[in-house]
Amino acid sequence: MRDSNLHQILTNFTYTGNLLFQKEYVSDPINKKRKKNRGELPQYLVENTHEAIIDMDTFNYVQQEMKRRKQLGPFANKSLKTTCFTSKIKCPFCNKSYMHYIRHPRTPNGNVIEKWECGSRKLKGGHCEVGASIDQNNMKKVLAEILEIDVFDEKIFLEKVDFINVPKRYTLEVHLKDGRVITKPCVNTGYKDCWTNQ
């Protein structure tokens, strides 16, 4: 079953045994284009018109849970591997969040590299104006400097940082919760990260 079909079932008020009229309206009588009624016109509720499939308490609980999960974003899905940076790094050009990926070493003594790149680059044929990815270790060093701590701390990061924009290649624009915006370079060390420790 497609997600859109499941969403339609979970939000179908008719299953409660009641009918809500004028959920949609014709916005243009010439081309008969219909629009969802978001308060433009009054709606009319008629109760107990038919046998209910689901009670109102359960229906309302499902609507609240869906709203809660929407606000949590990827954190609502416990099967996803999230980090403190998930949904925090934004691309101001594509309006997409940066996505995490891990590059495993090709040699036994090589280093695992964790990077973040604009979500649009993950799409087929996707392109981003910023381009380059962000090395996670280098980003942690820059953030520790901004937060004035010796070693990066996830808890402090989540407490103090609202979000991070990437306005240009190898640059972090850190928006703090106290209203300050601090811009710092975050240069990748390139292939040096792939070199072995020996």
Report the alpha-carbon distance of residue 82 to residue 186 in Å, rounded. 22
The pTM assigned to this predicted structure is 0.56
What are the start-end ranges of the E strands in the chain?
19-21, 24-28, 33-36, 44-46, 89-90, 98-103, 113-118, 134-135, 161-165, 171-176, 181-185
pLDDT tens for 170-181 read 999 999 999 999
The domains of the chain are located at: 3-76, 89-194
Average pLDDT over residues 63-68: 82
Antiparallel, parallel or unpaired: β 171-176 and 161-165: antiparallel
Report the alpha-carbon distance of residue 143 to residue 55 in Å, rounded. 50
Q: Residue 16: what pLDDT?
A: 92
Question: Three-class SS of residue 15?
Answer: helix
What are the Cα distances from residue 39, in Å, to 16, 24, 25, 71? 22, 10, 11, 22
pLDDT tops 90 at residue 109: no
Contact criterion met (CB below 8 Å) for 194 and 180: no
